[in-house]
């Protein structure tokens, strides 16, 4: 077998014994592992708040859209003379439910026509909580605004004007 000689400047000589090979073993160094862990931590630290904001904004948009659709449906049913009655929407902030109902008000409604939609749990509702559309004309008994707000401070306003247009 060939012997390999390693010499240093001081004259020291190291000669490996037969059968010993010098190889570099595969794997990751500690620095590489720490860099990857730090990079994943950085991405998670930036990504989670962004994801949370997007989810909150999406909940607000979906709730606003659902409320606007319920208002438009109530108006359409009133204009079409469905059951020859007024139709309306009641928003209950305590139970987080939107209810489409038939009748002149929520308290005296015909419950067999109720349609409900659940609101997002962290949503705050203020402003009008009951909007009733007059039969045939489709005009609201009371014009106004419904304010929706999330815990992160994002808000949305849904306005019902005197002619019954739903704007958001």
Q: What is the pLDDT of residue 116?
A: 95
Sign of CA dihedral 9, 15, 21, 27: negative
Could you give the CA distance from residue 7 to residue 100 in angstroms, rounded to a whole number?
92
Low-confidence ranges of the chain (pLDDT < 50): none
Q: What is the CATH number of the domain that holds 67?
A: 3.55.40.10
Residue 112: inside a domain? yes
Q: If we measure between CA atoms, which residue out of 115, 111, 95 comes closest to residue 103?
A: 111
Determine the structural domain holding residue 72 and report its residue range: 53-167
Residue 153: inside a domain? yes
Q: What is the pLDDT of residue 152?
A: 83
**What is the β-pairing status of strands 155-160 and 124-127?**
unpaired
Could you give the CA distance from residue 138 to residue 132 in angstroms, rounded to a whole number?
9
Total count of domains within the chain: 1
Residue 15: inside a domain? no
pTM: 0.74
Q: What is the pLDDT of residue 149?
A: 93
Residue 34: inside a domain? no
Residue 92: inside a domain? yes
Could you give the CA distance from residue 81 to residue 102 in angstroms, rounded to a whole number?
11
Residue 23: inside a domain? no
Place of tokens 């997002």: 120
């Amino acid at each position: 077998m060939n012997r390999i000689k390693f010499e240093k400047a001081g004259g020291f000589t190291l000669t490996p014994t037969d059968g010993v090979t010098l190889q570099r073993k595969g794997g990751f160094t500690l620095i590489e592992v720490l860099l990857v862990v730090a990079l994943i931590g950085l991405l998670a630290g930036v990504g989670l708040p962004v994801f949370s904001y997007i989810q909150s904004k999406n909940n607000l948009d979906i709730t606003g859209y659902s409320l606007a659709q319920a208002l438009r449906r109530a108006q359409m049913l009133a204009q079409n003379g469905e059951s020859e009655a007024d139709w309306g929407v009641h928003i209950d902030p305590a139970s987080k439910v939107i209810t489409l109902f038939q009748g002149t008000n929520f308290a005296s409604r015909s419950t067999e026509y109720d349609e409900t939609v659940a609101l997002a749990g962290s949503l705050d509702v203020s402003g009008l909580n009951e909007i009733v559309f007059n039969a045939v004309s489709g005009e609201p008994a009371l014009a106004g605004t419904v304010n929706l707000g999330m815990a992160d401070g994002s808000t949305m306003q849904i306005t019902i004007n005197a002619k019954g247009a739903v704007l958001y």
